[in-house]
Amino acid sequence: MFGLGVPELLIIALIILLFFGAKRLPGIGTGLGKTVKEIKNIKKELSRDKESEKKTAAEDSASEKKSLESKLAESVQDKLADRVIDQVPGIRQARKIKDKADKIRKIVT
């Protein structure tokens, strides 16, 4: 315990007794007990916060993975749609008309 033996602790206790007096020792003990309890509570809260941060980080990475998967799926769908549009001439013309209509709608609104 910090290199302090029983004789050193007794000397420290005697000095505290002389310095503060016997009447104030119970209050000092109570205050020290509350302080130690509060420090333990703070330590528990910090460990809970770290655990919750790890959980949220894991959830965030899972949601990022899902969003990456959805982006990949969208890009695959877009590529497939472009291939279909290029292969079928009627669809290509309909797509051009739709794009022009969207541009006009944006200008109007």
Of 79, 57, 77, residue with least CA distance to 69: 77
Tokens 């993975």 locate to 65
pLDDT value for 1: 46
Query: Using CA atoms, how far apart are residues 109 and 97, in angstroms rounded to an integer?
Result: 18
Helix, strand, or coil here: 30? helix
Residuewise pLDDT in 10s, the chain (109 residues): 467 788 888 888 888 888 888 888 888 788 878 888 888 888 888 888 778 777 777 766 767 777 777 777 777 777 777 776 666 667 777 778 888 888 998 898 7
Q: How far apart are the first and last CA of the chain?
A: 77
Query: Residue 91 in contact with residue 84, Cβ under 8 Å?
Result: yes
Cα–Cα distance measured from residue 32 to residue 38, given in angstroms and rounded to the nearest whole number? 10
CB of 85 closer than 8 Å to CB of 95: yes
Cα 54 to Cα 60: distance, rounded to the nearest angstrom: 10
